[in-house]
A = this chain, B = another copy of it.
């Protein structure tokens, strides 16, 4: 087999710990399936600010660009929260998305059976919840012009939300295709009763929908979607929406599953290149203590295998190993009911590696 190049960005907080376990999983799949990976580590986020004076150093970007995929831990922490905009980890995150053309963020929200009780929702409401938020990631109010100016009522701040048909069409088509590979239901979320960008969005969805006649489409207003996610989470299959709404709704969806420490995500551009990361954050409060749950990062590797490399066998094996270990009752402290029986980050890694 050919060698796949993976840029590895450990990042901040628990990032390095969870990424280390994911790398052991990568190695294990080389032994078992004969894959060959070349990993290159790069600095990003807070640690890059500290060591290089910028959250997204040029070298990091070129390491990513020459790789087939990127594995990211997590970035950010209170240490950098009061920095000026250019010196904040989030600025690096927005920068890397734009520079790598990652216009699509896939955030699956599934319920892990063994974690059903961790959700604040009633189990009967959650039953069967398995949805995917497809969030537009390089447009909208995140990337539009932003500035301050003097107005007649004092200083004012402006953010601009812009979408063109090309941007909307590519993400919408991708969402339709994803829906075709799932339960064939697409909820397009917008605020078309107020926003011009939402009206454009809805027009594009309606124009391309006839090309996917097997997919059932509904338009849902964002405020209503925030409610329906709570009322009937299991009825959603694929949700496609713009950047800001996707940020809010994907976090709501992830949290309602109760499995947020276990969820992987992918950010994709044109072609097979992708950046993979856990949905959870850098959790600086528990960093360096061996308490972090590496499963979301390990499952991000499985997602990378399936989506970027087409390594279905390896992906299945990783997911099966995670299920096996969980079914055997092993838990890191975040998901342990009895905290005294919780195992450490590396112990969880050991068990999953051994199960592959």
**Listed residue (A148, A167, A223) with the most chain B CB atoms within 10 angstroms of its CB:** A223
Determine if B167 and A153 form an interchain contact, defined as CB atoms under 8 angstroms apart. yes
A 196-226 binary contact with B (CB < 8 Å = 1; else 0): 1101100000000000000000000011101
A35 at the binding interface (Cβ < 8 Å): no
Nearest CB in chain B to that of A245: its residue: B248
Determine if B154 and A165 form an interchain contact, defined as CB atoms under 8 angstroms apart. yes
What CA separation (Å) do A249 and B251 show in the bound complex? 12
- Interface residues of A, CB < 8 Å — how many? 56
A272 at the binding interface (Cβ < 8 Å): no
Nearest CB in chain B to that of A159: its residue: B161
What CA separation (Å) do A230 and B251 show in the bound complex? 10
**Which residues from chain B contact A196 at a C-beta distance below 8 Å?**
146-148, 157-159
A 142-166 binary contact with B (CB < 8 Å = 1; else 0): 1010111001011111111111111
What CA separation (Å) do A247 and B193 show in the bound complex? 12
A65 at the binding interface (Cβ < 8 Å): no
A121 at the binding interface (Cβ < 8 Å): yes
A118 to chain B, nearest CB (A): 10
Interface set of A (CB-CB < 8 Å, partner B): 88, 90, 94, 120-122, 125, 141-142, 144, 146-148, 151, 153-167, 191, 193-197, 199-200, 222-224, 226-227, 230-231, 244-245, 247-252, 254-256, 260
Task: Pull 20 A–B residue pairs with CB atoms less than 8 Å apart, ordered by A.
Answer: A141-B194, A141-B195, A148-B196, A153-B167, A154-B164, A155-B165, A156-B163, A157-B162, A157-B164, A157-B197, A159-B197, A160-B161, A223-B248, A223-B250, A226-B249, A226-B255, A227-B251, A230-B252, A230-B255, A248-B248
